Structure 1
Amino acid sequence: MLIHYLRVIPLLVRMHVRSKMEYRGAFWLDRFAQVLSYGSVFATIGILLARFHTLGGWTLPELALLFSFQLLAYSLGAAMSFVQLRDLEELVRLGTYDTLLVKPFSPWAYLVFSGLNIGYAGHVILAAALMGWAILSVDFTWSVWSVSFLIATLISATLLTGALITMIGATALMWVRSNHLFSIFFGFWELTRYPLNIFPGGIQITLITAVPLALTSSVPVGALLGKSIPLLGDWAGPVALAAGPVWVLISIAHWRYATGKYQGAGG
């Protein structure tokens, strides 16, 4: 079965990429617009720092590393999940999700890889360029260990992002309607481009526990740079490393539970 999946997945991805690249000019113009959009967000942070010099004790290069880390982790995780799982609500509502259940393939794998979103290329380009500048500019002595920690926590944050989005989308299998939960997700996600310590205690707790998006940004980056992390303290690094794998297991359990509750288009 695994060999069957490994043979089919590249074909699904290749067909989807070809369809998205049919109009290449429009595709890359849209990516350029993404770079300008998120670039303007960071420019706003830069304006704040020009006036106040630091934000929660973070300098501009440190905030650049935080912003780029958050954006890169999100774009990599969402490319494998967001549009695909957002559209699951419509598949369930119209009853077309039932057609996936009769395919000799995992419905989740088919959804994810047949809709792999290369539209996040603009996010990745901006985040990678900004991260490169931040790494060279931040007042920090890099080592093999710190680089390894940065890469490992980035992978963990990517997994966590995909897991949370998967859980939100899977809820449609039980409730039919679940896309309103994405509004809550992105509301909190926008907060995580800033240091955790600038927020009130209630928001800090929420961003670490119920909506653990701080684990995709200021917690791993703060632990890397030796910042004081609210609530977690010295546990920030280990928690950031473990968060992704743990939430992937939780999302798998949630997907299976939601699938078991799914009653089909006929109710």
Structure 2
Amino acid sequence: MRETLMLWWQLMRLRARARLQNRLSLVLAWISQGFGYAGAFASIWVILNRFGGLGGWRWPELAFLLGFQIFGYALGAMFTFTQFRFMEEQVRDGEFDMLLVRPVNPWSFLVFSGIDLQYGSHFALGLVLMIMAGLQLDLDWDLLMILRLLLSLMSAAMLTGAMFTALGACAFVLGRSRFLFGLYFDFWELSRYPAIIFGLPLQLILLTILPFSYMGFVPVSVLLGKPVPILGDAAPMLAILAGPITALIAAWIWRACLRRYQGFGV
């Protein structure tokens, strides 16, 4: 176990050192992404200021939701997005076949050797939004609430990584998977908003089949003491368990698709 952990650490360290060879490019990427998200969030702020709220959510509450959502997403995506988004090319070009003959777990190697440092602006923006909103909301930050926040963020990160893993695994069977990432982000955009503003059918989808509401709305509602439709009293527990449960499902999907993999490389 110790050797495995050391291997993962070395893989991450080598990847980080390689990425930091061009610091200017990395900083420019942070700046461009930061401005992109800040512009999108500013448009939401304008709408809330114009209409006074959104589904009963005021700006500080929604700002906390936006900060939580982007921070949790970045925490999971830095280990999985780039790695599994290009799974289609790795399968098609035969690169994944070469990985299968190495004496390491393929999933672990992909995740830890491809850690992406381009999420600095996501973390900074998310943290600033949560801190500023938390101060305006005057929340009681006792030890239990801090622990609940941290566990909820880890759950959101696991949920993000699990969904990217499942999407990437589809390349083993279909030979293609990148188009699924486009569909993912179409629904991911909805996780920025309180699910209560959507109709009941879409709420059910976002809480079950496509659990995007657990990336922000459910855990933030629990932290702010807001009611969660459909889930009710189960919301606090599910806000923490959604990530681990989805990770187990994604692991099963990964293994099932890998067993059916016949190779597409030429």
Mapped to 2, the partners of 1:140 and 1:128 lie a distance apart of: 16
The 5 Å alignment of 1:216-227 reads 216-227=215-226
Specify the code of the residue in structure 2 equivalent to 1:229. Answer: V
- Relative to structure 1, the CA distance from residue 4 to residue 265 in structure 2 (aligned partners, 3 Å threshold; closer, same or farther) is farther
User: How far did 1:139 drift?
Assistant: 4.4
Cα displacement string for residues 49-73 of structure 1 (whole angstroms, at most 9, x for unaligned residues)? 1111111111111111000000001
Mapped to 1, the partners of 2:39 and 2:187 lie a distance apart of: 19
Cα displacement string for residues 192-225 of structure 1 (whole angstroms, at most 9, x for unaligned residues)? 1011100111111111111101011101101221
The 5 Å alignment of 1:1-267 reads 2-265=1-264
Tell me if structure 2 keeps the 8 A contact 1:83–1:117: yes
Specify the code of the residue in structure 1 equivalent to 2:121. Answer: G
User: How far did 1:89 drift?
Assistant: 0.9
Mapped to 2, the partners of 1:193 and 1:53 lie a distance apart of: 17
Tell me if structure 1 keeps the 8 A contact 2:93–2:265: no
Tell me if structure 2 keeps the 8 A contact 1:31–1:122: yes
User: How far did 1:236 drift?
Assistant: 1.1
Mapped to 2, the partners of 1:3 and 1:145 lie a distance apart of: 31
Specify the code of the residue in structure 1 equivalent to 2:85. Answer: R
Tell me if structure 2 keeps the 8 A contact 1:69–1:154: yes
Tell me if structure 2 keeps the 8 A contact 1:66–1:218: yes
Tell me if structure 2 keeps the 8 A contact 1:98–1:264: yes
User: How far did 1:15 drift?
Assistant: 1.7
Specify the code of the residue in structure 2 equivalent to 1:173. Answer: F
Specify the code of the residue in structure 2 equivalent to 1:182. Answer: F
- Root-mean-square deviation (CA), in Å? 1.3
User: How far did 1:140 drift?
Assistant: 3.2
Tell me if structure 2 keeps the 8 A contact 1:185–1:211: no
TM-score (norm 1): 0.96
Cα displacement string for residues 101-136 of structure 1 (whole angstroms, at most 9, x for unaligned residues)? 011111111111111011111111111111111111
Specify the code of the residue in structure 2 equivalent to 1:114. Answer: S
- Relative to structure 1, the CA distance from residue 3 to residue 141 in structure 2 (aligned partners, 3 Å threshold; closer, same or farther) is closer
TM-score (norm 2): 0.96
1:181 is paired with a residue whose SS is helix
Of stretches 257-266 and 95-104 in structure 1, the one that deviates more from structure 2 is 257-266
Mapped to 2, the partners of 1:144 and 1:266 lie a distance apart of: 52
Count of residues in Structure 1 that have an aligned counterpart in Structure 2: 266
Specify the code of the residue in structure 2 equivalent to 1:36. Answer: F
- Relative to structure 1, the CA distance from residue 266 to residue 122 in structure 2 (aligned partners, 3 Å threshold; closer, same or farther) is closer
- Relative to structure 1, the CA distance from residue 178 to residue 81 in structure 2 (aligned partners, 3 Å threshold; closer, same or farther) is same
Specify the code of the residue in structure 2 equivalent to 1:176. Answer: G
User: How far did 1:3 drift?
Assistant: 2.8
Tell me if structure 2 keeps the 8 A contact 1:71–1:127: yes
Specify the code of the residue in structure 2 equivalent to 1:195. Answer: P
Specify the code of the residue in structure 2 equivalent to 1:238. Answer: M
Mapped to 2, the partners of 1:229 and 1:8 lie a distance apart of: 42
Identity among equivalent pairs (%): 42
Question: Structure 1 unaligned runs (5+)?
Answer: none
Mapped to 2, the partners of 1:41 and 1:17 lie a distance apart of: 29
User: How far did 1:265 drift?
Assistant: 3.0
Tell me if structure 2 keeps the 8 A contact 1:89–1:169: yes
> After TM superposition, which residue ranges in structure 1, 4 or more long, deviate above 4 angstroms?
none
Mapped to 2, the partners of 1:19 and 1:144 lie a distance apart of: 38
